[in-house]
Chains A and B, each alone.
Chain A
């Protein structure tokens, strides 16, 4: 396949996953705010602002956000920024629109059903704006985004041969997922540390629940860990669990498999830098223990994973996509 097309496939995977992740994060945040838990506030903080700023920290958008909005409707503005702002390249609308642009460029390569699903996704998203969703139901909108991205991923699974173009799409998708999970966990953990909630207090439980819900992992986690929620258990589930689709270990495993299928290298010997980097990260996630991670410090560990994901993305681009 053409390098240009591989690049587009990679980014379709990434953007659709990113839209999904953003919808989850904002939805969970919006609802934990509704339920009145403001644990992050320190003396003198505006509690609502403190809550919403955690989401800006997740995406690293604090400054860009501040530069674009002046008034005090923090909630409305955050929803607008993450869902609809076109000047925010990571907003849901931006991601879906760019996924569709990329799909348009490789239209002959993907199935008609995939294009149609993505196109309808785009058309639906552009029918909304922040006032409309506040009027109706933000949750309804975010669910729609999640469903549309899952529909697209499901249709891909069903209509696209398991060959090179799909491998590039999956590389983008799972690399994005691993990185987003690391990021969500990092920021939430950071804020929990900073807040006033006592360990194992109802508030603490509430917040860890929110973390799990934001990656769609709460119910699965419950089945695995019936006795309350501790940071160690969350790490073991969201970082090291090899079987849960949102866990970093699972996502990196899938990304690595996709990458290996592109070069056809089955054995242990990596054929390029991207494979070497992702194989190493996969080994870490497969063999580290929760205790070792907590010893290093969760924040440092998660930050390192994010930067390694980033490097892998660059290496993939160097190996296949640049010309």
Chain B
């Protein structure tokens, strides 16, 4: 009796198995370890892990009760594993992408060369929901528009990676990467001894370094704060966690005020000047004097202080323009335009309903395509063509015709699956997954190895969003095999483009302490 009995691959690419019963080489050790566990033992560990999350308060509150009900975000305890080479290819593609996107944002808010040259249609930009014309010409510290980016990747049925979307406003979820790792290390410590997993816990120090880098005041100890909408926000745990790990203040709008274009926070020792705001509030709510008047979450005057160059915001105002799923379709063209390179990570083929011919194609194939509205997140505003009813298709056809700018369509990607524990059958079953790596941009670009693997825990579902019944699992990038790292030890990889130098993040090793070469090979530039 093994948890893998009757494990079906179906027609999908399976992360663990190359064919039934045959684990891929980099999964062999994990497969062997899990095969020895009984369902009872696995369940016991899952309960232990969940109890630990409840105790630490890594939970959502479900309201309606006097005291509220605590729910954990589901964590699947079968990790997803990537080889070192696989990760390096992804990393290169992501770095290229964020370079192009940052250059694009700068261009859009300044010279607009890409529009003048007709590479991206002008009306797409000026009609975009998140375009901030107020920021045309505004100077952004160090010319970095996006400090933190979460780019969603999927694998198709042949195992190739595609970019599904970019999140350049305030992507969340990185706290789950760090928590999942800690949880796994506590729940299955022996697995870490057998696999050489690259560490991720330097994320917060790197983030803090980058935030300090954009401080407008060049002083030794700039004041960095994290601005949260408050404890009732669903991502509040993450906000508090990141602030705690960086040792910075977690502020709400009411803790800050602006006087003569300088941002101050109210402290027990009187006002203290703030240099950098890592804001986890959308543009719309940032400053009632500039954006939504009815919002009490933000800080009146913050935007003017920002325009005056007295405070830095991460991410910059107006980055949402590149979140737009219509603009996403142009990213490969941006890479070509700004970097003169071909995109290393392809987009999922995308049809734009604002283009007449493509719209006709969409309308005729609604039963085969996935339709998404341009600016929704969290799995909302979507039509999953192959799983939809005629009625839903008609409804979307009307929406598309009345607002063509606002929709795109993509063929359904048969995204890859990985084994997940299913409580009601006490077995592992394949579940669809995606990957959100977190890209940090500062003096250089760095990405912690792996990222957040989200799982569609509902049988047959392709939607991984937590708001739609998704969970997550730990993502392991294996360290370079020792022999390989020695032969490649003095190869330094660096690219300088558009003023941004890429260097790999420092790779601290897990417990086994081997493989010193990979740690040091990156510093030589």
Contacts and interface: CB of A to CB of B under 8 A. Distances in A.
B55 A112 contact: no
Nearest to B271: A323
B111 interface: no
B232 to A, nearest CB: 10
Contacts of A168: 268
Contact of B57 (A3, A116, A321): A116
Interface stretch (B13-21, B243-251, B289-297, B320-328): B243-251
Contact of B55 (A4, A106, A116): A116
Given A107-B244, A108-B249, A1 B57 contact: no
Interface stretch (A52-60, A66-74, A118-126, A226-234): A118-126
Given A115-B56, A116-B57, A119-B56, A86 B243 contact: no
The 5 A-B residue pairs with the shortest CB-CB distance, nearest first, are A108-B243, A107-B240, A108-B244, A108-B250, A119-B57
7 contacts: A2-B268, A5-B249, A6-B268, A86-B67, A104-B231, A108-B244, A164-B268
B249 A104 contact: no
Nearest to B70: A123
Contact of A1 (B56, B70, B267): B267
B54 interface: yes
B266 interface: yes
A262 interface: yes
Nearest to A101: B231
Q: How large is the interface on B (under 10, 10 to 19, 20 to 34, 35 or more residues)?
A: 20 to 34
Nearest to A93: B67
A115 B265 CA distance: 25
A2 B231 contact: no
Contacts of B231: 101, 104-105
B252 interface: yes
A320 interface: yes
A104 B241 CA distance: 11
A3 B268 contact: yes
Interface in B382-417: none
B56 A116 contact: yes
B240 A108 contact: yes
Nearest to B239: A108
A119 B55 contact: yes
A1 B254 CA distance: 14
A320 B55 contact: no
A112 B266 contact: no
B209 to A, nearest CB: 18
B55 A3 contact: no
Interface string B244-264: 100011111011000000000
A97 interface: yes
Interface in A171-223: none
Contacts of B54: 123
Given A3-B268, A108-B248, A123-B54, 5 more contacts: A2-B268, A3-B266, A86-B66, A101-B231, A108-B244
Nearest to B254: A4
A168 B266 CA distance: 16
A320 B268 contact: yes
A83 to B, nearest CB: 14
B65 to A, nearest CB: 10
